[in-house]
Structure 1
Amino acid sequence: MSTIPLTVVGAAKLRAELQEMKTVQRPAVIAAIAEARAHGDLSENAEYEAAKERQGFIEGRIAELESKLSNAQIIDPALLDADGACVFGATIDLEDMASETVVTYQIVGDDEADIKEGKISISSPISRALIGKYPGDVAEVLAPGGLREYEILDVKYV
């Protein structure tokens, strides 16, 4: 598996989720399985089946989180020195050339992308169009609705 880029904040969120899975959710599902077993016949015990299914999901998610964190390349945007270029971790102010609206996005890893928080995935079309560009450049993005042009107003490393 190749390295997975993550910001410091994204890595902290994954660690917190892993900790919660191991210390809260795993013991809770083990207790639910024990309680369902106490009800007797397991062949027709829906509670037992649901708890076992939940346990499988939790164990799978724990393994996935551990794998991602062990393969993570953690990048602190505040320590970047990219001479104003759009790079992973950068926060970029863009103006949509068609609507003249200004938006701000931070380029982050796939696991931490959340458009509502202004965080876009490094593998998204807009991120790929922005990487390597500087303030004043125009990025052309082939979106589902057609070609969109964004002017890069500012690039910050915070």
Structure 2
Amino acid sequence: MTDTTTPVVWLTQEAHDRLAAELEQLSTTGRTDIATKIEAARSEGDLKENGGYHAAREEQAKQEARIRQLQQILRSARVGEAPPDDGVVEPGMVVEATVAGERMRFLVGSREVADGTDLDVYSDRSPLGAAIVGRSRGETTSYTAPNGKEITVEIHEAKPYQP
């Protein structure tokens, strides 16, 4: 069941499987490995001046944050439901557009989907993403950038992402 306050994340089956495997590894052997490092560093004595202990604790904090992030992504994921190839921009679409006079090609959606590609990724909740979601090829729109400038966007093409 998806939490209605959490936005849905579109994932390919490959991306979902990769993230689930990462979560499994971090939650099991990853946690065990960190605990072993912390225990080994703790046995070295004075914790105030123990760089290995502090590094291991920092690594543990980063790992736990990644575990929470993966759990959230996987909880809100829709798997394998590619958007229709109708030219309308929505999450999961690769968009070709002229943004502020520069032609760009990018994915609207989650970085997790495009992992391993050279595509830039813009969330559908980012200023650019929010301005173009629901728009069609050939349309021109604009949005206000964080610096206050009005940015013009002309959509040339929107196609479902194919890994």
Q: Could you list the per-position Cα deviations for residues 128-157 of structure 1 after superposition, in whole angstroms to 9, with x for gaps in the alignment?
A: 111111111102121236112121111211
Q: CA deviation at 1:51?
A: 2.8
Match of residue 93, structure 2, among 81, 90, 95: 90
Q: Secondary structure at the match of 1:126?
A: helix
Q: Which residue of 2 aligns with 1:134?
A: 136
Q: Distance in 2 between matches of 1:42 and 1:145?
A: 48
Contact 1:3/1:73 (<8 A) preserved? no
Alignment partner of 1:4 is 2:5: no
Contact 1:112/1:119 (<8 A) preserved? no
Greater gyration radius:
1
Q: Secondary structure at the match of 2:144?
A: strand
Q: CA deviation at 1:3?
A: 4.5
Alignment partner of 1:149 is 2:152: yes
Q: Distance in 2 between matches of 1:92 and 1:31?
A: 46
Which is further off, 127-136 or 141-150?
141-150
Q: Which residue of 2 aligns with 1:31?
A: 36
Q: 1:6 to 1:35 in 2, by over 3 A?
A: same
Structure 1 residue identity aligned to 2:138? G
Structure 1 residue identity aligned to 2:124? I
Gaps of 5+ in 1: none
* Length-normalised TM-score, structure 2: 0.72
Alignment of 1:64-143 (within 5 A): 64-77=69-82, 80-81=83-84, 83-96=86-99, 99=101, 101-109=102-110, 117-143=119-145
Q: Which residue of 2 aligns with 1:54?
A: 59
Alignment of 1:8-27 (within 5 A): 8=12, 10-27=15-32
* Length-normalised TM-score, structure 1: 0.74
Q: Distance in 1 between matches of 2:34 and 2:89?
A: 44
Q: 1:32 to 1:138 in 2, by over 3 A?
A: same
Q: Secondary structure at the match of 1:6?
A: strand
Q: Secondary structure at the match of 1:81?
A: coil
Q: 1:12 to 1:122 in 2, by over 3 A?
A: farther
Q: CA deviation at 1:34?
A: 2.6
Contact 2:9/2:73 (<8 A) preserved? no
Structure 2 residue identity aligned to 1:72? A
Q: 1:138 to 1:12 in 2, by over 3 A?
A: farther
Q: Identity of paired residues, percent?
A: 27
